Structures are given as C-alpha cells and as structure tokens.
Amino acid sequence: MESSLGETLDYLRSCHRRAPFLFFNGNTFADIARTFSDYLFAELPHGRRREATSAVAHYVAGVLDKESMAQILDALCETAEFAVGDHVRTLRGSATGIILRIQPDGRVVWKPRGSRSELIALPESLLREKNR
C-alpha cells in the first residue's frame, strides 16, 4: 500500500487524537513520525533536518496545524543559496535580517534587524524571508 507523506501524517495524528492508551499517546505516534521523517529528509543538513522532524512531530502531537507544518517543510527544503541584500530569518524565526557579504568559504555575513552587530552563519542555518 502506498500513501503520501501528508496522508501518513494525518493517519498518525488521527491515531494520537483517538487516544487509544490511557497515558502517553503523543510519544507513541509523534515519535514514529519523527523517526521515519528523519530518514525521508536525510539529504537535509543536520540543523534543517532536526527542524523538519520537529515540525512533523509537533503536527502529529496536535500542536501545529497542517498548513504551518507544510510551510515550514517547504522553507526547509529550499536551497540555501543567498545573494547580498537578501532578507533572511533564522530557522525558528527568532531573528530576521539582511545578507551583507558572502565569504569565500561559503559562509554568509548577515545583520539582524535592529542590531548593529554582524553575524557569520552557515547558509543552511538561515531561511529566505518571503514577502520582502
């Protein structure tokens, strides 16, 4: 039997919602999703893969809605290629800013909004900010 990632996650979420066990339903189903999505997203860098599996687990656990999870997964699966002037945010969206320079080793220098400091980051640890 074949089913899409979305259908599988919906199924696990519905199992969690039915609460078949008296205690600890979440870890049973959310961590099944966390484990298999880890394999599915094996090509993502560590940081992005962790965020992807976390989003999937939060969806199955009933903490995140489907649209938000899909948006997070879409953003994490985008290539991490930036140009000077691109607007970016951290993986969890705790800071936003702008790319100032690209270093020869591929790392990027960016400036968080509202700050004078310049930060150096791996491109895969930043996401392009949409609607900018």
Binding interface with another protein (CB under 8 A): 5, 16-19, 23-28, 30-32, 34-36, 38-44, 46, 49-50, 53, 57-58, 61-63, 77, 79
Q: How far apart, in Å, do the first and last CA atoms of the chain sit?
A: 42
> Helix 5-18 to helix 26-40 angle, to the nearest 10 degrees?
170
Closest approach, Cβ 57 to another protein, in A, equals 7
Closest approach, Cβ 54 to another protein, in A, equals 8
Q: Which is nearer to another protein, 77 or 100 (CB)?
A: 77
Closest approach, Cβ 132 to another protein, in A, equals 23
Which candidate, 96, 99, 87, 52, places its Cα nearest to that of 71?
Answer: 52
